[in-house]
Amino acid sequence: MSTNPESIPLPAVRRLSLYLRQLEALARSNQATVSSKELGRALRLTDAQVRKDLAYFGQFGHPGIGYRVDEVIRRIRRILGTDKTWNATLVGLGNLGQALAAYRGFGRKGFQLVAVFDADERKVGRPVEALEAVVVQPLRELRETVARLNVRLGIIAVPAEAAQAVADQLVAAGVRGILNFAPVALLAPPHVALTSVDLAVQLEQLSFQVGMQTSSVRPATERG
């Protein structure tokens, strides 16, 4: 009984991606079915968690059998929306931007990079390495190009100071979602989806974990 979207826990949506990744790995090793227990073990989750998560999105499993790997893969892709292709644009061709331009995962998840922008006039006009038939454009052409090519997603890889202005332009141009790599909290209207990836935040989380472990792992042993 696929629950109505509003009531699905956000963490469950995040885990859906992990299930998919794991299922894809199982498919590559030609495993046909998998149980919630096995799936949970690989991702360090309880079996109940796995079952409940999947059940939020529909009837996936077969009692006595488990989950059929390729069936579930298909259905999760559909739910996540990565079974269709969308045009995307990348703004900012610094180090990170170049790595993103060369990243094959966009295509695999249904996002096609059809335009790239940069503020640096020296980069404008050059072809983008690793992307067929894409040439760096100046920011002032963003709006028109996004509309003409029916771009639905914008990827921001510019310095923090410039990020909000770029986001505003992307929104004005009509994108439906923004993936932000700049280390700032962006504002976007509610009809535009926004996801941020901040490497500094990840580094800090790791640093904290390390500090935590070394200070508390030996509760009684290492005191004297």
Partner DNA sequence: TAGTGTGAATGGATTCACAGCC
Partner DNA sequence: GGCTGTGAATCCATTCACACTA
95 interacts with a second copy by CB under 8 A: yes
6 interacts with DNA by CB under 7 A: no
Q: What are phi and psi of 2, to 5 degrees?
A: -65, 115
Q: Are 128 and 135 in contact (CB under 8 A)?
A: yes
Q: How far apart are CA 127 and CA 121, in angstroms?
A: 13
201 interacts with a second copy by CB under 8 A: yes
51 interacts with a second copy by CB under 8 A: no
Closest CB to DNA among 1 and 200? 1
Helix (H) or strand (E) holding 28: helix 10-28
Which residues lie below 8 Å from residue 98, measured CB to CB, with a gap of 6+?
Answer: 129
Report helix angle 47-56 to 10-28, nearest 10.
Answer: 100
- Residue among 127, 130, 179, 125 nearest 152 (CA): 179
Stretch that binds DNA, among 45-53, 134-142, 195-203, 214-222 (CB under 7 A): 45-53
Residue 71 interacting entry, from a second copy, DNA, none, C-beta within 5 to 8 Å by type: none
Q: Are 163 and 186 in contact (CB under 8 A)?
A: yes
CA 195 to chain centre: 8
Q: Give min distance, CB of 213 to a second copy, in A.
A: 6
Q: Give min distance, CB of 176 to a second copy, in A.
A: 5
26 interacts with a second copy by CB under 8 A: no
Q: Which of residues 152-211 bind DNA (CB under 7 A)?
A: none
User: Residues in the site for a second copy, rule: CB under 8 A?
Assistant: 5-6, 13-14, 16-18, 20-22, 25, 42-44, 79-82, 86, 95-96, 98-99, 102-103, 105-106, 108-111, 130, 152-153, 176-179, 183-185, 190-191, 193-195, 197-217
User: Residues in the site for DNA, rule: CB under 7 A?
Assistant: 1, 9-12, 35-37, 45-49, 51-52, 54-55, 59-67
